[in-house]
Copies of this chain bind each other. A is one copy, B any other.
Amino acid sequence: MNAAILSIGTELTLGQTVDTNSAWLSQRLAELGIRVQWHVTVPDELEPIRQELERACAQVDVVLVTGGLGPTADDLTRDALAALMGVGLERREEYVEQIRAFFASRGRDMPEANIVQAMFPTGSEPITNTCGTAPGIRARWKDTLIFIMPGVPREMRVMYDRDVLPVLAPLAGEGVILASTLYCFGAGESDIAEKIRDLMARGRNPTVGTTAQQTVIGVRIHVQGRTRAEAQALLDRDREEIRRRLGTLVFGENNDQLAAAVAALLFDKQKTIATAESCTGGLLAGRLTDIPGSSRYFLQGVVTYANEAKTALLGVPADLIARHGAVSREVAEVMATACRQRANADFALSVTGIAGPGGGTAQKPVGLVYIGLADAEGCQVTEHRLGDCLTRDEIRDRTCKAALNRLRLRLLGE
């Protein structure tokens, strides 16, 4: 089976919103062994939507559509489906009541505008929306199954799991596609590819490829098999081989974040962590607490943005800051050491740096960051020069990753 994904919205083709639905749906389809041939995005205009539905129905077995089901005049997906099928729209009273009940459950009256969300092309089937007001639509056209879901990611995801997946799973057949990605940190894409070049040869099954995203390198393994067992065996073989060659460069798999890898090690070794941040401003603590159950290892964090805060919350001597500057190896060391002691934690991470865009000098340019890691044996500080090609967001992001990776390697005993 193969599929296409159609996203609808002028906010998407104008670039005001990033489409995350297509990626999420693609992952779900890959899990079923359904091959996604393309994603396409068109504006809120009737004819382009109709044309893309027609193109998909001519070429694929399933088309998943998101967006354009809202209550306003620029929501045209139901009209485009009706145009494709050559039918009109019918009002379904039970869905008017569902929408009214949804508003009532939040203590509100249904605005008149929302009634249009209970209009469906003749011959299509409504899909209940349990998390919002826009019902979805299910239809069949020229042997292609069409599922239309709301563009709001949360509503779409719940609707997919509840009403689309149960229809697709039995149809998905016996050919199985499995995919897995190993995520690496600490080396460039070419260096990693060099180590696994033979596995990346064209025409192999599994296919192995690399991608780089914000200094995390993904090694993707994608396998086709006649049965799930066959596909799984091929996948496992390559995964083990790649893990063996890349060693501790690999920190996780699939949707794992670096923080999840660190959390797993902290859970496993029953160690605790505290943080003291300057330029990352709480993001490092934020990542460490992204993980459910993080209260078992994360004790406390301080965001000592102002120099006075470094002194008040961590006891960094004012004259040390005056002598070396707030962005210095010396200050990073005191921050981590004091943070660990005050929190009574096994480890403490400290960060001080210049995230820009202002505040850089020739000696201390934007992108200069010091990361301290304190444990019972003392404190080690590393200096990072992230260069001038990066934005403030990127510098803060990479600093968090570098700090998490320091802790990860320490927990692995390196």
Contacts and interface: CB of A to CB of B under 8 A. Distances in A.
A11 B302 CA distance: 37
Contacts of A300: 302-306, 309, 312-313
A212 B154 CA distance: 11
Interface in A197-240: 197, 200-202, 207, 209-213, 218, 220, 222
A299 B306 contact: yes
Contacts of A343: 309
Interface in A1-31: 7, 9-20, 22-30
A356 interface: yes
Nearest to A74: B209
A72 B200 CA distance: 8
A83 to B, nearest CB: 15
A55 to B, nearest CB: 10
A189 B106 CA distance: 14
Nearest to A303: B301
A131 interface: yes
A309 to B, nearest CB: 4
A36 B14 contact: yes
A342 B308 CA distance: 11
A87 interface: no
Interface in A288-311: 288-290, 292-295, 298-306, 308-309
A158 B389 contact: yes
B27 A38 contact: no
Given A40-B38, A286-B281, A303-B285, A342 B209 contact: no
A105 to B, nearest CB: 10
Contact of A73 (B9, B201, B213, B281): B201
A133 interface: yes
Given A202-B73, A294-B281, A299 B309 contact: yes
Contacts of A39: 7, 12-13, 19, 39-41
A389 to B, nearest CB: 5
28 contacts: A10-B222, A12-B23, A15-B25, A15-B30, A16-B254, A18-B18, A37-B42, A37-B48, A39-B40, A70-B211, A70-B212, A74-B202, A74-B209, A113-B193, A113-B197, A154-B394, A158-B389, A282-B303, A283-B286, A290-B392, A290-B396, A292-B356, A292-B392, A295-B306, A301-B301, A301-B302, A302-B303, A313-B313
Given A11-B218, A74-B207, 16 more contacts: A14-B222, A18-B18, A18-B20, A18-B23, A19-B22, A37-B42, A38-B42, A70-B212, A74-B209, A130-B389, A154-B390, A282-B301, A300-B302, A300-B312, A301-B301, A301-B302
